[in-house]
C-alpha cells in the first residue's frame, strides 16, 4: 500500500477500454469530460459544506436564540451527526462502485435537502437528532469522500488538481452560504429560510447531476484496477498497520477536531464581542481566504513537501487562534480569522494529495473514505467538547487554548512518514 514511484504503464487494451467510454482520454485537455465532473462536484461541495459544515455554526446560534438551549446540548447533537456520518463515509467507495457516482450524488443531495428542512422545524432536542441522521446521509453523499472518489473515476494524472478545484466549492459554501443563510433567516425566519435553502439546492444540483454525470471511464476508482487489485477489507487492514497512513490520519484528525470545533462555535464566540453581522463577515472572510489559500497552493503543491506544508499550515492556525483568544478589536479579529482561513481549504485538500502521492493508486478511493471516517469520528467530538468546556468555564478561552495545543501536536505528528515497503500483488490478494 506504500508509495509507488512508477505506476504501471497502461496497455493498448486499457486505452481502448477508456476510449470506449469517453473517447480521447486526455486529462490535460479542456475538452475532457472529467472537467465537467469537476464543475458538478464544485456545486455539490458548495451546498454540502454550506449546510453540513459551515451551517452548523448558524444552527447552533439560531437554536440557542430560539430555545435557550445550552451550547453543550446543541453541540452534542452536532457530535452525533459527525459520528453517524463517519460510519456512513467508510462505505462511500463501495457505494460508488456498486451504484455509480450519479445515483450516490443524487441520494446525497436529496438527503441533505430533507435534513435542512427538518432542522428548520426543530422544536425539541430529539427532533434535532432526527434531523442530524438525515444530515449525516446527506454529508456522506456530498462531502470529501464522495467528491474525491467520484473524481478518482475520471482522473489519474490530474487528480490532485481536479480535487483541489472541486473543493473550492466547499469554501464558496462558507463564503456565500453562511451570510446568505443569516440574511434569509433575518428576512423570513428560521423555518421558512431553511425550506427556501433546501429548494434552491434541489433546483440547482439535481439537474446538473442528471445532465453531466454519466458512466465514468474507470469503474474501480483507480487507473490500475484489475484482477490483482486489493480488496477493500485488505486495504483497510493494512492501513491500520501503516505508520505513514496513521500519521496522516491522526494529525489531520487532531487538526480538524480543533478546526471544526472552532468554526462551529465561531459565531457564538464573536456575537457578543462584535455583533452578529460582523461575526458573519468574519466567517465569510475566513472562508474566502480558504479559497485564496487553496488556489495559490494548488499552483505549487506538486513541487512541495506536502507533509511539511501541512505542518506549517497547522502552526499558522495555532498562531491565529492565539490572536483570536487575546484580542477584542474587530479588525484584528477579522484579520486573525483570515489567517486561520488561509489554511482551512488546504487542510481539506492536503490529505487527498498526500494519499495520491504516497500510496498505491488502486487503494485511493478506499483510503480516502477510511481517512475521512477516522478524521470525522475524531472531529465529531470537537463541537461537543468545546461546548462542554465553555459551559464549565464560562468562557471560550480554555477550549480554544486546547485547540492551539492540538494544532502544534499535529504539526509534529505529520512529519512522521514511516518506511513500510509496498506489498506484492500476491500478498494483497490473500
CATH code for position 396: 1.20.1250.20
Residue 401, domain member (yes or no): yes
Q: What range does the domain containing 366 cover?
A: 35-223+230-415
pLDDT, mean of residues 95-118: 93
pLDDT, mean of residues 150-159: 81
Using 50, 70 and 90 to split pLDDT, how confident is the model at 378?
confident
The residue written with cell numbers 464522495 in the block is 146
Residue 146, domain member (yes or no): yes
Provide the strand spans (E) within 92-248.
none
Residue 8, domain member (yes or no): no
Residue 7, domain member (yes or no): no
Residue 251, domain member (yes or no): yes
Q: What percentage of the chain carries pLDDT values higher than 90? A: 32
Buried b (16+ CB within 10 A) or exposed e, 169-202: bbbbbbbbbbbbbbebbeeeebbebbbbbbeebb
Residue 429, domain member (yes or no): no
Q: pLDDT tens-digit profile of 251-268?
A: 999 999 999 889 878 888
Q: Look at 56-70, 125-139, 227-241 and tell me which has the smallest mean pLDDT.
A: 227-241
pLDDT, mean of residues 309-330: 92
Give me 69's grid cell. 438551549
Tell me, what's the pLDDT at 211?
Answer: 92
- Is residue 178 within 8 A of residue 57, CB to CB? The reply is yes
pLDDT over 50 at 242, yes or no: yes
The closest of 401, 383, 411 to 52, measured between CA atoms, is 383
pLDDT, mean of residues 94-108: 91
Q: pLDDT tens-digit profile of 12-64?
A: 444 434 444 444 466 667 778 888 999 999 999 999 989 988 888 788 888 88
Q: How far apart are CA 89 and CA 374, in angstroms?
A: 9
Cα angle 200, 201, 206; round to 5:
115
pLDDT over 90 at 285, yes or no: no
pLDDT, mean of residues 353-381: 82
Q: Look at 164-168, 227-231, 288-292, 343-347 and tell me which has the smallest mean pLDDT.
A: 227-231
- Is residue 274 within 8 A of residue 330, CB to CB? The reply is yes
pTM: 0.73
> How many domains does the chain contain in total?
1
Residue 114, domain member (yes or no): yes
Tell me, what's the pLDDT at 360?
Answer: 77
Residue 6, domain member (yes or no): no
Amino acid at each position: 500500500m506504500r508509495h509507488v514511484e512508477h505506476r504501471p504503464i497502461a496497455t493498448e487494451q486499457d486505452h481502448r477500454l477508456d476510449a470506449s467510454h469517453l473517447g480521447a482520454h486526455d486529462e490535460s485537455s479542456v475538452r475532457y469530460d472529467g472537467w465537467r465532473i469537476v464543475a458538478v462536484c464544485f456545486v455539490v461541495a458548495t451546498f454540502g459544506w454550506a449546510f453540513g459544515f459551515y451551517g452548523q455554526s448558524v444552527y447552533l446560534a439560531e437554536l440557542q436564540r430560539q430555545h435557550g438551549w445550552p451550547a453543550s446540548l446543541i453541540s452534542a447533537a452536532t457530535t452525533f451527526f459527525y459520528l453517524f456520518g463517519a460510519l456512513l463515509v467508510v462505505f462511500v467507495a463501495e457505494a460508488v462502485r456498486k451504484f455509480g457516482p450519479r445515483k450516490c450524488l443524487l441520494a446525497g443531495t436529496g438527503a441533505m435537502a430533507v435534513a435542512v428542512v427538518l432542522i428548520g422545524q426543530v422544536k425539541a432536542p430529539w427532533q434535532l437528532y432526527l434531523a442530524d441522521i438525515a444530515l449525516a446521509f446527506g454529508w456522506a453523499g456530498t462531502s470529501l469522500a464522495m467528491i474525491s472518489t467520484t473524481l478518482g473515476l475520471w482522473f489519474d494524472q490530474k487528480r490532485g488538481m481536479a480535487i483541489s478545484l472541486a473543493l473550492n466549492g466547499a469554501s464558496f459554501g462558507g463564503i456565500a452560504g453562511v451570510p446568505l443563510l443569516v440574511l434569509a433567516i433575518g428576512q423570513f425566519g428560521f423555518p421558512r429560510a431553511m425550506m427556501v435553502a433546501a429548494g434552491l439546492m434541489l433546483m440547482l444540483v439535481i439537474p446538473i447531476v442528471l445532465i453531466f454525470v454519466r458512466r465514468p471511464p474507470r469503474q474501480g476508482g483507480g487507473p490500475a484496477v484489475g484482477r490483482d487489485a486489493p480488496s477493500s477489507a485488505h486495504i483497510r487492514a493494512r492501513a491500520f498497520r501503516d505508520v505513514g497512513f496513521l500519521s496522516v490520519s491522526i494529525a489531520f484528525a487532531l487538526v480538524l477536531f480543533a478546526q471544526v470545533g472552532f468554526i462551529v462555535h465561531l459565531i457564538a464566540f464573536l456575537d457578543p464581542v462584535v455583533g452578529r453581522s460582523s461575526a458573519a463577515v468574519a466567517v465569510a472572510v475566513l472562508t474566502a481566504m480558504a479559497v485564496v489559500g487553496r488556489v495559490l497552493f494548488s499552483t505549487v503543491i506538486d513541487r512541495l513537501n506536502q507533509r511539511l506544508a501541512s505542518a506549517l499550515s497547522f502552526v499558522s492556525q495555532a498562531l491565529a487562534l492565539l490572536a483570536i483568544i487575546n484580542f477584542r478589536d474587530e479588525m484584528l479579529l477579522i484579520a486573525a480569522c483570515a489567517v486561520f482561513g488561509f489554511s482551512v481549504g488546504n487542510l481539506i485538500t492536503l490529505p487527498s494529495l498526500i494519499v495520491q502521492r504516497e500510496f498505491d493508486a488502486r487503494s485511493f478511493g478506499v483510503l480516502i473514505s477510511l481517512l475521512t471516517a477516522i478524521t470525522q469520528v475524531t472531529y465529531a467530538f470537537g463541537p461537543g467538547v468545546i461546548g462542554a468546556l465553555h459551559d464549565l468555564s464560562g468562557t471560550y478561552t480554555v477550549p480554544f487554548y486546547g485547540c492551539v495545543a492540538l494544532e502544534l501536536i499535529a504539526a509534529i505528528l505529520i512529519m512522521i512518514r514511516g518506511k513500510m515497503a509496498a506489498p506484492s500483488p500476491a500478498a494483497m490478494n490473500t
